[in-house]
Amino acid sequence: MTAHLGATALAAGLVAALLALWSWVAAARGGDARTARRVTWLMLAAAAGACAALEWALLRHDFGVRFVADNGGRDVPVYYTVTSLWSALEGSLLLWLLVLSSYAVLLARRAPARAPHLHAPAMAVVSAVGAAFFAVALFAGNAFGRVTPVPSDGPGPNPLLQHHPAMGVHPPLLYVGFLGMLVPFAYAAAALVTGDTSSAWITAARRWTLVGWSALSAGIVLGAWWAYAVLGWGGYWGWDPVENASLLPWLTATALLHSTMVQTRRPTLRLWNLSLAGATFVLVLIGTFLTRSGVVASVHSFTQSPVGPALLAIVVAALGGFTALLVWRSDRLGADVGIGAPVSRGTALLANNLVLLALAFTVLLGTVYPLLAEALSGARLSVGAPYFDRMAPPLGLALLLLMALAPVVHWDGDTAPAVARRLALPVAVGLATVAVLGVAGRAGVGAVLACGLGAVVVTGIVADLAGRLRVARRSGLGWIAATSKALGGRRRVGGLLAHVGIALAGVAIAASSSWTVANEQQLRVGDSISAAGVHARLVDIQRRRTGTGMSTRAVLETPRGRLTAALTFFPKRGVLLSSPAIASRPSGDYYATVVQVADDGRSARVRFAVDPLVPELWLAGALVAAGGVLAGWPVRRRRPPVPPVTIPAQRELVVVR
């Protein structure tokens, strides 16, 4: 019964999405948008119904449903039973549809005040994408297929996906981020369809872009934390193809947020910004294809299935359709008036865009090159971390340099001496940072430069705020009013927070990548291992049976207390999982993992590492996400006061007899 209800919900969602597409097209031609809004709500109801049906089957252990038989289990905790909805291919498509339909309903509520003519065409694009994914979920990746004979139990989700609470937040956040990029894509397509390539579509899509960008930022950092705390390999970013697939749209969306600032001030970069909006969502679709087609080997990706070709068709359709719109409306893009003086903020932001796109191209090339090589020549090639570690750091340093430069340059143009004067203090602090690290013997030119440039960025922001505060105080304002004026409003504060977060992330990544010290040894109880002058002693080896497998734990005594790392075997899945033990403080982490345990249980092979500044990376991610949310938070506009209505006094009627 549950399977029939779920399949019916998917079919109803497909019909509702097609009706919504037709209704929004009719509304764009002058029809009534109220019907289109109601049908859009039906899309959401259908997606929610399909998700609820599968969750009900998981919670009831209805192993007659194939998805439950493959991913459910009676001994799985309730929390991970709920999250197993998105632990495999078919269920993750249902979550994707739920998030997409939620965006559609929120976007349909009202037309943007400055671009009402773009609303209906944009909603038609969103509905078309919704119809495509409902069709994929119904015909290629139906989660409600039946299995016979019905098994008495299931293996549960992959053990990697049921040992960290981030599993309940990380994938939904990524989906919110990915599908947030559908909104600028839809408004850019609407701008091309209507021929209005002014900045109206940017104004309509900006807040939605910030929502998606913030969620994607948080999702990427949370995924890095999950990898660091669960996988046990000692790092948080391995240039995995699916990790790269989440980074690519983040890079182009960051470029879009910066370059649209230029177009809102002068009629320029129209083709550039429209192309960025299109490329960002196409990269989302490419990432979705890589994750769900099984064409790449990854701890994140799902198995091969008919969903792969269907998703590839959506990628081709989106890319081909948007490119055709750009060619069709090339005569409406207008002539650019230039981005401004050679030394101006517009020029700096364009340089920022070029570096971001160069980094995106580098990551994309390394990610898809093995697929292209296999398709063209049949040869199986791999592009590993050394390629990315060699190519990405110089571009990252260039980004930090531009982050330091852009905020101190005026929009209307500047002189080199004036810019140098504003950069004097930040550069001095950066040079001092480099000198201190050099004296301390820190190796790695790139890491030292990253720390110096990070100091330049943060010092420049602080110096700029201090200067604005002094000016405000000289005008006679009190401390609270002067501080508010210096900060310059919620949007500016959000941007500053995000910039500080990016600078801090650059420093943390450079330090943890270059200055981590690790050691791996075979230890008997009582033996010690050391890394970076820190000693850890193996005090006990414990074996215990859990509800899902057999666990062996190594207890280490360290200067920060005891660390208990575990090695667990899950017989139902045939998976051996190493769970690290982590002790954190602001300067860095102690990180211990069990690699292997002797059969007699008296010795174990242990890896012990000291990872500097890793906690700062998680703080940086929080700052970036909070900055994006703050910058995009809607501002409540005060209505102008209504002038009082003066009622003329009535004259007394005097009757003369």
Classify residue 149 as exposed, middle or buried by CB count within 10 Å of its CB (0-12, 13-18, 19+). exposed
Q: Residue 304's pLDDT band (boundaries 50, 70, 90)? A: low
pLDDT at residue 525 in the model:
92
pLDDT at residue 610 in the model:
95
pLDDT of 315 > 80? The answer is yes
One DSSP character per residue, 365-387 reads: HHHHHHHHHHHHH-------HHH
Distances (CA, A) of 283 to 122, 315, 317: 19, 9, 13
Best CA proximity match to 95, nearest among 20, 36, 168, 154: 168
pLDDT of 336 > 70? The answer is no
pLDDT of 31 > 50? The answer is yes
3-state secondary structure 8-26: HHHHHHHHHHHHHHHHHHH
pLDDT at residue 655 in the model:
44
Q: How far apart are CA 588 and CA 572, in angstroms?
A: 36
Contacts of 484 (CB under 8 A, 6+ apart): none
Please state whether 580 falls in left (phi above 0), alpha (psi between -120 and 50) or beta. Answer: beta
Contacts of 577 (CB under 8 A, 6+ apart): 159, 160, 163, 232, 567, 568, 569, 570
CA dihedral 198, 200, 206, 207 (to 10 degrees): 180
Q: Residue 564's pLDDT band (boundaries 50, 70, 90)? A: very high
Q: Which residues share a beta bridge with 590?
A: 583, 610
Q: Residue 211's pLDDT band (boundaries 50, 70, 90)? A: very high
pLDDT, tens digit (0-9, with 9 covering 90-100), for 125-154: 999 999 999 999 999 888 999 988 999 988
CA dihedral 422, 424, 430, 432 (to 10 degrees): -150
Classify residue 599 as exposed, middle or buried by CB count within 10 Å of its CB (0-12, 13-18, 19+). exposed
pLDDT at residue 290 in the model:
83
Give 473 or 506, the one with higher predicted confidence.
506
pLDDT at residue 296 in the model:
61
pLDDT at residue 573 in the model:
76
Q: How far apart are CA 199 and CA 192, in angstroms?
A: 12
> Are the C-beta atoms of 156 and 73 separated by less than 8 Å?
yes
pLDDT, tens digit (0-9, with 9 covering 90-100), for 508-541: 999 999 999 999 999 999 999 999 999 999 999 9
pLDDT of 3 > 60? The answer is yes
Give 416 or 359, the one with higher predicted confidence.
359
pLDDT at residue 651 in the model:
44
Give 647 or 133, the one with higher predicted confidence.
133
Q: Residue 653's pLDDT band (boundaries 50, 70, 90)? A: very low
pLDDT of 32 > 90? The answer is no
pLDDT of 165 > 80? The answer is yes
Give 2 or 121, the one with higher predicted confidence.
121
pLDDT of 448 > 80? The answer is yes
Q: Residue 93's pLDDT band (boundaries 50, 70, 90)? A: very high
pLDDT, tens digit (0-9, with 9 covering 90-100), for 11-21: 999 999 999 99
pLDDT at residue 471 in the model:
86
pLDDT of 342 > 50? The answer is yes
Beta strands 588-597 and 603-612 are antiparallel
pLDDT of 657 > 50? The answer is no
pLDDT at residue 656 in the model:
44
DSSP three-state, residue 299: coil
b/e map of 386-401 (b: 16 or more CB within 10 Å)? ebbeebbbebbbbbbb
pLDDT at residue 489 in the model:
81
Q: Residue 454's pLDDT band (boundaries 50, 70, 90)? A: very high
Beta strands 561-570 and 575-579 are antiparallel
DSSP state of 139: I
pLDDT at residue 214 in the model:
96
Tokens describing residue 374: 């296999």
pLDDT at residue 173 in the model:
94
Comparing 210-214, 232-236, 243-247, the range with the smallest average pLDDT is 232-236
Q: Please tell me the pTM assigned to this model.
A: 0.92
The residue length of the chain stands at 657
Comparing 237-241, 256-260, 372-376, 423-427, the range with the smallest average pLDDT is 372-376
pLDDT at residue 654 in the model:
45
pLDDT of 439 > 80? The answer is yes
Instruction: Give 205-210 contacts, CB < 8 A, sequence gap 24+.
Output: 205/277, 206/257, 206/260, 206/632, 207/632, 207/634, 208/103, 208/107, 208/180, 208/183, 208/184, 209/180, 209/181, 209/183, 209/184, 209/253, 209/256, 209/257, 209/632, 210/257, 210/628, 210/629, 210/631, 210/632
pLDDT, tens digit (0-9, with 9 covering 90-100), for 48-61: 999 999 999 999 99
Tokens describing residue 180: 């947030």
Residue 351 phi, psi dihedral angles, 5° rounding: -65, -40
pLDDT, tens digit (0-9, with 9 covering 90-100), for 589-637: 999 999 988 888 889 999 999 999 999 999 999 999 999 999 988 766 5
> Are the C-beta atoms of 615 and 584 separated by less than 8 Å?
yes
Tokens describing residue 165: 């609470």
pLDDT, tens digit (0-9, with 9 covering 90-100), for 72-90: 988 889 999 999 999 888 9
Q: Which DSSP helix (H) or strand (E) runs through 606?
A: strand 603-612
Percent of the chain with pLDDT over 90: 62
Beta strands 588-597 and 561-570 are unpaired
pLDDT at residue 652 in the model:
45
Comparing 45-49, 105-109, 374-378, 504-508, the range with the smallest average pLDDT is 374-378
Placement of tokens 């948008």 in the chain = 33
Percent of the chain with pLDDT over 70: 94
pLDDT of 369 > 90? The answer is no
Q: How far apart are CA 224 and CA 217, in angstroms?
A: 11
